[in-house]
Amino acid sequence: MNQKIRNMNTTALAYMGDAVYEVYIRQWAMASGQPAADKLHAMAVPFVKASGQAQAVRELMKGFLTDEELALAKRARNHRTSSKPRNADPVEYKLATAFEALIGALYLSGETDRIEEIIGEALNIIESDLKIKKIKPGAAYSRHTKEKESKNE
């Protein structure tokens, strides 16, 4: 990540990261084969809402991120903002902003392989958390269904 991007306003990075992450999640949902838009939306919600992103970044900050990524995430989390979260806990909102800023910075740096690693790990973390709470994300990631079907054949 270059110096210019590292020093950008973290709110601007989060703005970009929000859009990039949303596209990745929508691609993931579409890959399930689910044709109904309302069910695709239901699948995506737990992964794009602040609480899911906050849970993911909490875990990622425990050793998955590089020192540079961790520093950026902490700077974004600690950035003072005048906006108030509408439907999220303020702490979760700040953590979600950190996650989005990280994705935005990596995107602007052209580090798509790293974005995919981080988002893949975030999906695993959020999905694991949903299973612990016994909540199905929409129809749940069909990858698991396909794996079960292939084992039964």
Catalytic residues: 18
Contacts 24+ apart (CB under 8 A), 63-72: 64/118, 64/121, 65/102, 65/118, 68/1, 68/6, 69/1, 69/102, 69/106, 72/1, 72/6, 72/10, 72/13, 72/101, 72/102, 72/105
What tokens appear for 136 in the block?
């199905």
Distance (Å, whole) CA 53 – CA 99:
6
Q: Which helix (H) or strand (E) holds 30?
A: helix 10-30
